Amino acid sequence: MSKFRFISLLFCLIFCTLSGCGVYSFKGALAPHLNTVAVPLFENATAEFGVTEELTDMVVREFTQDNSLRISDQNVADILVEGKIMRIEERAGAFDPQETVSSLRVYLTVSVKATDQVKKTILWEERITQWGIYDSGDTLTGRQDALIVAMEKISEEILNKTVAGW
């Protein structure tokens, strides 16, 4: 590499660093006043037992692992993420050559709202549906595993919509 190219490259790197390009932020598209989030226990409009606690824990875990917002108490948090489990339903996922159901899908639908408690505005509000799949012969543990997959997908989507503004 010639001396001129090296000096030009070095100058570009220094200029970019000082002017702010190339700086990465963990806060995504969040406004500067949004630093904390609270996720109260989701409500449950289904007869399914234990899903509210599991889903709420997964959402909190997503925010904790992402680390762009700190988990806080509901009364002092900048963002409040509230949710309600609306529906859990199963549908045939695939059929074998004899036209018998070989796999099932568990669909989980959740209504979620994220509120900016500082400016008293709704950041986003949406119904989210995700699914997990399991073998029709594995009814008990397979269904539970599929439901966990659906909850993981929903948790990730809630984080992304809150932090990235998608």
Q: Does domain 31-163 have CATH number 3.40.50.10610?
A: yes
Instruction: Give the span between the Cα atoms of 97 and 63, in whole angstroms.
Output: 44
Judged by DSSP in three states, 15 sits in helix
Q: What is the mean pLDDT of residues 55-68?
A: 97
**DSSP code of 75?**
T
Q: What would the pLDDT profile of 3-24 be if each residue is shown by its tens digit?
A: 555 455 445 445 444 444 443 3
According to DSSP, the β-strands at 121-135 and 101-116 are antiparallel
**DSSP code of 98?**
T
**What is the pTM assigned to this prediction?**
0.79
- Domain extent listing, the chain: 31-163
